[in-house]
A and B are shown apart, each in its own frame.
Chain A
Amino acid sequence: GAVVSQHPSRVICKSGTSVKIECRSLDFQATTMFWYRQFPKKSLMLMATSNEGSKATYEQGVEKDKFLINHASLTLSTLTVTSAHPEDSSFYICSARAYGQGGSEQYFGPGTRLTVT
């Protein structure tokens, strides 16, 4: 299947600082990328849908000024958690939509474990 990378895999930051997470599709072009948040033993919660060259579409209840998303190219999307607080600590996973035959497959990155102290 298609490969999606995510960097960093783990990050610890102090409260009030900002953290940037990168998501890359390595062997395909992804016009659409998705950012999810996952709490321990919980399901994946979609935060926003990122389309290359346009503004991200945020889900209800997700603050767009806090979670800045940029989809600069067909292979790169970034999520910046601004002014992070301990409650932002979570597992953040990106995914990219690959246009396979009949085409709706979505492939996930390995995730980023964010800890805000």
Chain B
Amino acid sequence: GENVEQHPSTLSVQEGDSAVIKCTYSDSASNYFPWYKQELGKRPQLIIDIRSNVGEKKDQRIAVTLNKTAKHFSLHITETQPEDSAVYFCAASIVRGSNYKLTFGKGTLLTVNP
């Protein structure tokens, strides 16, 4: 089955700096890659996703890049703010008809210091 590795496990940055979280996946058939943000005790929230027919996607301060050849994808947060502090999870999935199962990375605890 799919295996998703996520690095780093913890990341501390100063407010205003950029943060980058990287993930690799094992199954070359995976074609959907979402990123979730989870604050302590709360539900994971989808913040951005990318499909395998796209190499990069941006939404304001958040961007995701995908390298299908290398089987890795990354989350980039620019101009970080304290409210960006949370655990971020990457995930990978093969979406084919009704078949769909997300495999999550182990998460990255991002701390943005004021």
| A interface residues, Cβ below 8 angstroms from B | 1, 4, 31-32, 34, 41-44, 46, 49, 51, 93, 97, 102, 104-111, 113
Contact = CB atoms under 8 A, between A and B. Distances in A.
27 contacts: A1-B46, A4-B43, A32-B98, A32-B100, A34-B101, A42-B106, A42-B107, A43-B104, A43-B106, A43-B107, A46-B102, A93-B44, A97-B100, A102-B51, A104-B32, A104-B49, A104-B51, A104-B93, A104-B100, A105-B46, A106-B34, A106-B46, A108-B36, A108-B45, A110-B43, A111-B41, A113-B41
Main secondary structure of the interface of A (DSSP, over half): strand
Contacts of B93: 104
B89 interface: yes
A25 to B, nearest CB: 14
